[in-house]
């Protein structure tokens, strides 16, 4: 009778967590994957928001710089979160990466409310600052991204 278990029960590959040498190439590749997925989410989900908001008579929310920025961050976060979950990430790093999408805009809301920057600067700098915020979230847990 054949056994359904392998001949040896000892693994040939040990878990990589503490001893794994971190790879800058994998880190950058994962970072770039998330940027691409975020852009896809931003483009793909924008029309959905437009249809939904138009249907309930709230299309002005898309034109408002504050809510428009939050909607855009939500589109990027939804796509990036789905991609991270697909890649096997835990919920905490996904939440941290999601925060990296919102925090730059939330911080910039203050100078915009004070009239120090305009809507164009909000959008530009919100997206620019998102990139180092994402890198910081990744550097909080480098081994989380080492397997990707």
Backbone dihedral angles phi then psi of residue 73, each to the nearest 5 degrees: -65, -35
- Name the packing angle between helices 119-140 and 24-55 (round to 10°): 140
pTM: 0.77
Per-position pLDDT tens, the chain of length 148: 444 444 444 444 444 444 456 678 888 888 999 999 999 999 999 999 999 999 999 989 999 999 999 999 999 999 999 999 999 999 999 999 999 999 999 999 999 999 999 999 999 999 999 999 999 999 988 888 776 6
| d(C-alpha 19, C-alpha 11), whole Å | 16
């Amino acid at each position: 009778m054949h056994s359904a278990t392998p001949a040896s029960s000892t693994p040939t590959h040990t878990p990589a967590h503490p001893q794994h040498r971190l790879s800058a190439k994998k880190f950058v590749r994962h970072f770039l994957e998330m940027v691409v997925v975020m852009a896809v989410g931003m483009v793909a989900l924008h029309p959905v928001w437009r249809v939904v908001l138009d249907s309930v008579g709230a299309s002005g929310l898309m034109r408002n710089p504050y809510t428009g920025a939050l909607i855009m961050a939500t589109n990027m976060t939804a796509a990036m979160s789905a991609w991270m979950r697909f890649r096997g990430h835990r919920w905490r790093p996904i939440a941290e990466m999601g925060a990296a999408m919102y925090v730059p805009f939330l911080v910039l809301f203050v100078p915009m409310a004070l009239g120090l920057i305009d809507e164009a600067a909000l959008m530009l700098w919100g997206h620019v600052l998102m990139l180092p915020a994402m890198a910081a979230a990744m550097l909080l847990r480098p081994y989380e991204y080492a397997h990707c």
